[in-house]
Amino acid sequence: MRRLAPVFTLFFLAPLIAEFFLGDFPIVLLPLIVALAPMYGGGALLIREVVRRTHRGWPTMVTLALAFGVLEEGLLTQSLFNPNYTDDHLLDPGFVPLLGIGIPWTVFVLSLHTIWSISTPVAIVEESSLDRRTEPWLGRVGLWVTAALFVVGSVITFAISYGNGKHFIAKPGQLAVSAALVVVLVVVAFLLPRPGSAVPREATAPNPWLVFVIALATGGLFMGGILVDVVWLGVTFMLLALAIAGYLVGTWSRRSGWGRWHRFALACGALFTYSWHAFLMGSSKSTAELVVNLISYSLYALGALAIAWLAVRRIRRQPSTPDLELADASARG
């Protein structure tokens, strides 16, 4: 059972971060994590296992995470196309009639899944797994069980969204394009070059604390984009945040000394971005609801701190050696 600890941790951490730490559900609905885990946890596990079994790195992981986001929001919940999804009129700002999507919502929700639903929990659990970080955690049977759970979770997600969305079904063309995008992203993910053994650049990677601060800053810029009333300005903020983060991580990860603490700093920056963003979620209809929400978001923030603290204790158990850090920098994954 000890060897399966990372599996169970990721299976439940993914939905915890994706839906609860985001602020979608109050703490009293925490049992819903059982229903959400097969899709979120199953998806995160499948992506992580496929990447590590094929000896690929984070570029492939992130691309597959984006494919997961398109699958969920384009084919399962269909929030990319449903104008009345959750009755929040998410598509109204920046709506493009030809595509039937709202640009701000599309950029926002696909980024949430790519960065927070998949990449963040995977990074936290991997870095806490010490020398098993890039090893497969599941055998063949476990992989098939996880795939089956993911399919079941996807069906459950579609059924719930179909009922709550007043039986909305996107147009055949929209569904076809979404399915095609998923396939294209998966193909692209495996066309990306494998992590090489190239010697890192002579420049030294920045202090992990700076990486953490940059992750928080770009996270704040991104989240601020969805709050801006001016559509083009909000989209610019979100895309700028993604571009800055992508450029800096791509540059820094090729430098000498880049390692587990830098990857962990990125994950913590994303995790804590959700912690403060949760307090901005929705509007309470009553004083009781307001109190429950505030308590929930506070507990989620404390939970994020506890997760980071436990991960730090785990990571410190593995001694830091120049050879290990050089290998980390060379693999960049």
- For 154-198, how does the pLDDT look when each residue is reduced to its tens digit (9 = 90+)? 999 999 888 876 789 999 999 999 999 999 999 999 999 887 655
d(CA 239, CA 234): 9
Per-residue CA distances from 25 to 3, 33, 37, 282 (Å): 31, 10, 14, 10
The string of pLDDT tens digits covering residues 296-325 is: 999 999 999 999 999 999 998 876 544 344
Helix (H) or strand (E) holding 132: none
pLDDT of residue 60 exceeding 70: yes
Helices (H), 54-139: 58-70, 103-111, 120-127
Q: Which residues pair with 96 in a beta bridge?
A: 101
With DSSP H G I counted as helix, E B as strand and the rest as coil, what are the percentages for the chain, rounded to 5? 75, 5, 25
Based on C-alpha coordinates, what's the Rg of the chain?
A: 20
In 176-230, at which residue ranges do the beta strands (DSSP E only) sit?
201-204
Please report the beta strands in the chain, taking only residues with DSSP state E, as ranges in sequence order.
95-96, 101-102, 201-204, 255-256
Q: Residue ranges per domain, the chain? A: 2-331
Single-letter code of the amino acid located at 311: A
Count other C-beta atoms under 10 Å from residue 266's C-beta: 28
Sign of CA dihedral 115, 187, 128, 15: positive
Q: What are the structure tokens assigned to 84, written together? A: 């009345």
Q: Average pLDDT over the chain, rounded to whole?
A: 90
pTM: 0.91
Residue 240 is inside which H or E element, if any?
A: helix 231-252
Q: CB–CB of 63/192 below 8 Å? A: yes
Q: Strands 95-96 and 201-204, how do they pair? A: unpaired
CA 8 to centroid of chain Cα atoms:
17
- Determine the pLDDT at residue 202: 67
Please state the rounded mean pLDDT for residues 48-62. Answer: 95
